[in-house]
Amino acid sequence: MKIIAADVIVTSPSRNFVTLKITTNDGVTGLGDATLNGRELAVAAYLREHIVPLLLDRDPHRIEDTWQFLYRSAYWRRGSVTMAAIAAVDMALWDIKGKVAGLPVYQLLGGASRTGLAAYGHASGRDIPELFDSIKMHLEDGYTHIRVQTSIPGVRAVYGVAAQTQSSGERYDYEPASRGALPVEEDWDTRAYLRHLPGVFEAVRNEFGPTLPLLHDGHHRMTPIQAAKLGKSLEPFDLFWLEDCTPAENQEALRLVRQHTTTPLAIGEVFNTVWDFQLLIREQLIDYVRAASTHFGGISPLKKVMDYAAQYQIKSGFHGPTDVSPVGLAAQAHVGLAIHNFGVQEYMAHSDRTNSVFEQTMTFKDGSLHPGDAPGLGVELNEEAAAAFPYQQAYLPYNRLADGTMHDW
Ligand code: EZ4
Ligand code: CO
C-alpha cells in the first residue's frame, strides 16, 4: 500500500480549519487536523510546499517511521507550525490504519479503558447572575465539569467571557474569529483579577454546592508569586484545576507555585512536544497535561507523553477549544478513551455549520463524549460543503495594561 495523494483543504464554516487528506492507492483516505488559530496559512504552506512531496509513494502503515522522518529530517525542530503539520500527517495515517483494520483508532491504542469521556464546558458571565445562568445551561446540556470565567470590574473585555448572553445550544465566541484586518486590543489588570476571583468562586459554591467540579483558566497572565497567591486563595473552593497560571515557558516558576498551593494545576495547551513536559512531569509540578493532538505532533506523541505522565499519577486534560477541528478532537478522544490516566476532556462543541462540513460519529450524551465505533477516526470531510466557506483572515485578540504595556492575552 502506498500514498498516492495528499491534499490540504482550508475551510472556514465558522472559523478557519486546515485539514490534510491523505489518499492511498487502495482508495483509502485519512484526515488530519493542522489548524493553528491565527496562523493557519503558514501550516497549510508548510504541508503543501514541504511535506506533501515527501509523502507520495510512502507506505501509510509506517506511522512512527514517518513521524520520525518528518521530525528529524527537517533538522529545525519543534515549533507550533512544524508540529501542527506533523500532527496532521500522524492523525491521517492513524485514520487510514484504522480503516484498513476495520477498527476505530482507540482499539488500535489498546482498547477502551472507560465507557466514555467526562467533559467540561465553558460557563461565563459578565456578572454573577449571568454566570449562574450559564452554569445552569451547561448542567442542562449534560456537562459534569464546568469551567468558570467572569468579567472583572474595571476591565473592559476578559478572555473566556462571552460578550453576549448565551442560550442553550447556542455557540458563542469569546475569542473570535473576529473577522477583520487587525487583531482586537483588550485590557488587563492582574491585581483587580486577584481581588475579584475568589468572591466569584465563593458565590458559585454557595449556589451550586460542594460537589460540582469547577475549573478556571488563568491564560498565562500571572507572575509565579501571583499564581501562588491565587491558588492559595481558591483552595477553600476546591477547584478541579487551575489552568495556565503562569506563562509556562519558564517551567521552574511552577516549583514556586507548587510550594504554596494544593490547587491542582493544568498546563500545556501551547506546548508542541513531549520534551516540553519533561521537567513538569518529572518534578510533578502539574496534575493535568493540557496538550492538544493538533499542536503536539498528533496521536503518537500524545500517547507517549501520557504514558510518561502515568508514572507520576498525572492525568490528561486535552485542549479542546473550537479551534481544534472535529478531526483533532476525534484524535484526542480516541487517545482519552484508551489511556488509563484520562482526566477530563475540554469540549466546547462545534457549530452546526462546522458539523455540516465535518461529518462525525462523535456523540455527547449524558455528559459523556464518545468518538464512535466507525473504523479510523470517525470523521469525514464533506469537500463540497467545505468549498462553500473560503478562508477568512482572523486573529486572536491581545492585551495591553493601563499604561500601554503589552501583556499576555
Ligand atoms: O485561548 O485555543 O483553554 N482554552 C484556551 C483556548 C485558547 C485558544 C487559542 O486559540 O485557553 O480558548
Ligand atoms: Co486555556
Instruction: Kindly report the protein residue whose alpha carbon is nearest to atom 7 of ligand 1.
Output: 321
Is 217 close to ligand 1, i.e. is its CB under 6 Å away?
A: yes
Residues 172-181 have a mean pLDDT of: 59
For residue 38, the ligand 1 atom closest to its alpha carbon is: 10
Given pLDDT bands bounded at 50, 70 and 90, which one contains residue 173?
Answer: low
What are all long-range contacts of 225-229, with beta carbons under 8 Å and residues at least 24 apart?
225/256, 226/190, 226/194, 227/253, 227/257, 228/256, 228/257, 228/259, 228/260, 228/261, 229/194, 229/260
> Residue 385 to residues 24, 48, 285, 353: CA-CA distances in angstroms?
23, 21, 45, 9
Rounding to the nearest 10 degrees, give the CA dihedral for residues 223, 177, 334, 24: -130
- Among residues 120, 159, 288, 347, the one annotated as catalytic is 159
**Ligand 1 touching residue 122 (CB < 6 A):** no
Residues forming a β-bridge with 380: 359
Beta strands 288-289 and 406-407 are unpaired
Residue 221 Cα to ligand 2 middle (Å): 11
Q: 370 alpha carbon to ligand 2 midpoint, in Å?
A: 22
What average pLDDT does the segment 43-67 reach? 98
From the CA of 243, give the closest atom in ligand 1.
3
- Output the pLDDT for position 248: 82
Mean pLDDT confidence for 210-232:
98
Distance CA 30, CA 6 (A): 9
Looking at all shown ligands, the one closest to residue 178's CA atom is 1
CB atoms within 10 A of CB 178: 13
Residue 178 is predicted with a pLDDT of 58
Average pLDDT value for the chain: 95
Residue 160 Cα: closest atom of ligand 1: 12
Q: Which helix (H) or strand (E) holds 11?
A: strand 3-11
147 lines ligand 1 (CB under 6 A): no
Q: Is residue 267 scored above 90 in pLDDT? A: yes
pLDDT band at 182 (very low <50, low <70, confident <90, very high): confident
% residues pLDDT > 90 (the chain): 90
For position 174, what pLDDT does the model report?
Answer: 56
Give yes or no for a contact between 159 and 174, defined as CB atoms under 8 angstroms apart: yes
- DSSP letter at 180 equals S
Domain ranges of the chain: 3-103, 117-374
Give the distance (Å) from ligand 1 centre to CA of residue 115.
Answer: 27
* Architecture in CATH for domain 117-374: Alpha-Beta Barrel (3.20)
Give the rounded distance of the alpha carbon of 64 from its chain centre.
23
Check if 177 has its Cβ closer than 6 Å to any atom of ligand 1: no
CB atoms within 10 A of CB 112: 15
Task: Check: CB of residue 2 under 8 Å from CB of residue 13.
Answer: no
Cα of 269 from ligand 2 centre, angstroms? 6
The pLDDT assigned to 169 comes to: 47
**Atom 11 (ligand 1): residue with closest C-alpha?**
219
CB of 269 shorter than 6 A to ligand 1: yes
Is the pLDDT reported for residue 167 higher than 60?
A: no
Q: Cα(249)–Cα(35) distance, rounded to whole angstroms?
A: 22
Q: Which atom of ligand 1 is nearest to the CA of 37?
A: 10
| 219 is annotated as an active-site residue | yes
Q: How far is the CA of 10 from the centre of ligand 2 (A)?
A: 24
Whether the CB-CB separation of 86 and 71 falls below 8 Å is answered with yes
159: annotated active-site residue? yes
Please name the fold of domain 3-103: Enolase-like; domain 1 (3.30.390)
pLDDT tens-digit series, residues 60-91 = 999 999 999 999 999 999 999 999 999 999 99
DSSP string, 331-388: HHHHHHHH-TT---EE-----HHHHHHEEE--EEETTEEE--SSSBTSEEE-HHHHHT
Q: How many CB atoms sit inside 10 A of residue 213's CB?
A: 16
**pLDDT value for 180:** 66
Ligand 2 centroid to 319 CA: how many Å?
7
What confidence tier does 280 reach under pLDDT thresholds 50, 70, 90?
Answer: very high
Q: Is the CB of 219 under 6 A from ligand 1?
A: yes
Which pLDDT value is given to residue 176? 57
The H or E element that residue 215 is part of is strand 214-217
Q: How do residues 124-140 score in pLDDT, each as one tens digit?
A: 999 999 999 999 999 99
Which H or E run includes 186? strand 185-187
Look up residue 50 and give its DSSP letter: I
Residue 212 pLDDT > 70? yes
The string of pLDDT tens digits covering residues 310-363 is 999 999 999 999 999 999 999 999 999 999 999 999 999 999 999 999 999 999
Among 122, 138, 216, 219, the active-site one is 219
Please check whether residue 348 is in contact with residue 121, taking contact to mean a CB–CB distance below 8 angstroms: yes
